[in-house]
Amino acid sequence: MIGILIVAHDALGDSLASAVTHVLGARPSQFECLGVAASDDPLNLLPKARDLVRALDTGDGVLIFSDIYGATPSNLAAKLLIPGKVEAVAGVNLPMLVRAFTYRAKGMETMIKKAISGGCDGVLHLGVNPFYAATRS
């Protein structure tokens, strides 16, 4: 099974972990978070991030989620990449995580595609969503 690591600003990862645990009914295994505070030196976090990746990888790899592309958490995640083994996706949201956990046994490529599509599909303008419009009448 693919391990999952969230590297995000402050306690965002822990909040997402709490929410995904609520949605799924239990905290998933092989799942950790690394918060990056404004006062943190990213170079000091790199060894801890590497240790987390090693601990999460049971042979199928690790997918790292970060919050904002180009920000410190995603830059830290980029330093951990090993193509096909340790991959990363920026822009994490709750639908993306739920989808990732649902497809984590299907292989890295499938998991990444499903996570990204889940994240995108989970962002809707409620006023123009056909489902939402139907529930208003």
Q: CATH code at 22?
A: 3.40.50.510
pLDDT score of 64: 99
pLDDT score of 135: 63
- Over residues 17-39, the pLDDT tens digits come to 999 999 999 999 999 999 999 99
3-state secondary structure of 90: strand
pLDDT score of 130: 66
User: Which of 1-10, 70-79, 122-131 is predicted with the least confidence, judged by mean pLDDT?
Assistant: 122-131
Q: Which domain holds residue 124?
A: 3-136
Please report, as a single letter, which amino acid is at residue 95. P
Packed helices 12-24 and 94-103: angle between N→C axes, nearest 10 degrees: 60
| H helix runs in the chain, sequence order | 12-24, 42-56, 72-78, 94-103, 108-121, 130-136
Q: What value does the mean pLDDT take over residues 56-68?
A: 99
- Over residues 81-90, the pLDDT tens digits come to 999 999 999 9
Looking at the 3D structure of the chain, how many domains does it have? 1
**pTM score, whole prediction:** 0.93
Give the length of the chain.
Answer: 137
pLDDT score of 133: 58
pLDDT score of 123: 92
Mean pLDDT score of the chain, rounded to an integer?
A: 95
Residue 137 has pLDDT above 80, yes or no: no
